[in-house]
Amino acid sequence: MSTPRANLPEIAQNQASKYLTHNKSLWELEALTIGGVIDRDLTSPPSSPNEGDLYIPASTATGEWQGKEDNLAYYVNGEWIFSQPQEGWQHYLIDEAEVITYSGSGWEINTTTAYRLYDGTDEVTASQARTHIDSTSNPHSVTATQVNNTTAQWNADQLQGNAIATTSPTDGQGLFWDVGAGEYQPQTPSDGDMLKSTYDSNTNGQIDATATNTPYLTFSLQSTDYTLQSSDHGKWLEFDSSVTVTLPDGLTNGFQCFIQLISADTVTLSATTTLNAKGTQITTQWGVARVTHRGSNEWRAEGDLS
């Protein structure tokens, strides 16, 4: 008598030497459930098998495997024992790095998504995935040495879709967005730079512990018509004559600066596209206006405007 699915031998009532039947069932059960199949292409047993080796004899098998094609051949206690597979049995095939399933007429590589990657057009087998991962020229196979590699595959040329300049940075520089160039560029921060509000070259980049973390303002004096630039962000611009200050399109959303008239003249604000404010002119000496780029080429201004 044997079990109906795995065909494991059963112990009969009043059977002598029950341990023999019991042990054989354990061996076959181990072959079915533990470990992987070493090979399925051999037609004869290996000359020096190890205890516990598991094979699937190929067609036209010879020697001790003769007539046992497609069986599970398990070497234990110095001999080969065989299990006839049933439809649906699965095993991992070591030499091909694949999962195989018995179809009822032969062993086939498993094509279910549990063991293969498939996008509707192409599929990647486990062995192909392993080759891809192990390839030393593959940019996805990252090692500690390759992280310091200077080849192109390790040099980022974009940040969130925006270009990065190819200029090599120098010591102490940071990566700043340059609106005019339309790319990130290495630049050296200045003391009080709004983009580096905690930078101070006198303290190796650290804010004095006794001071507040309020960014320093940078002052810039202008005497002629002037168009705001990205580098004016956070600055205090002073004008000592009658001028027109152009608020251009394209500056970063949130750009902000202060404009002050320090003479008895007039400063006129002129936006390329849109300026929303209660007035467009500073007409009194020491008058100040703050201008902010709201985005979508819209400017807003507040302060001593008429």
Question: Using one digit for the tens of pLDDT, what is the confidence trace for 4-24?
Answer: 555 556 676 677 777 666 666
Residue whose pair of structure tokens reads 């009080």 in the numeric block: 192
Q: How confident is the model at residue 203 (pLDDT cuts 50, 70, 90)?
A: very low
How much is the pLDDT for 36?
Answer: 86
User: For the purposes of burial, counting CB atoms within 10 Å of the CB of 280, is it exposed (0-12), middle (13-18) or buried (19 or more)?
Assistant: middle
Model confidence at 181: pLDDT above 90: no
Q: From 2.60.120, 3.30.2000, 3.40.50, 1.10.150, which CATH number describes the 218-303 domain?
A: 2.60.120
**What does the radius of gyration of the chain's CA atoms come to, in whole angstroms?**
39
**Per-domain residue ranges of the chain:** 18-109, 218-303
Model confidence at 31: pLDDT above 70: no
Q: How confident is the model at residue 299 (pLDDT cuts 50, 70, 90)?
A: very high
Question: Using one digit for the tens of pLDDT, what is the confidence trace for 131-174?
Answer: 666 665 655 555 556 555 555 455 677 887 888 888 888 887 88
How much is the pLDDT for 138?
Answer: 53
Model confidence at 90: pLDDT above 60: yes
Cβ atoms within 10 Å, residue 216: 15
Task: Give me the mean pLDDT over the 92-117 stretch.
Answer: 79
Residue whose pair of structure tokens reads 């533990």 in the numeric block: 34
Question: Using one digit for the tens of pLDDT, what is the confidence trace for 265-292?
Answer: 999 999 999 999 999 999 999 999 999 9
Model confidence at 246: pLDDT above 50: yes
3-state secondary structure the chain: CECCCCCCECCCCCCCCHHHHHHHHHHHHHHHHCCCECCCCCCCCCCCCCCCCEECCCCCCCHHHCCCCCCEEEEECCEEEEECCCCCCEEEECCCCEEEEECCCCEEECCCCCCCEECCCCEECHHHHHHHHHCCCCCCCCCHHHHCCCCHHHCCCEECCEEECCCCCCCCCEEEEECCCCEEEEECCCCCCHHHCCCCHHHCCCCCCCCCCCCCCEEEEECCCEECCHHHCCEEEEECCCEEEEECCCCCCCCEEEEEECCCCCEEEEECCEEECCCCEECCCCCEEEEEEEECCEEEEEECCC
Structure tokens at 300: 């807003």
Model confidence at 198: pLDDT above 80: no
What rounded mean pLDDT belongs to the chain? 79
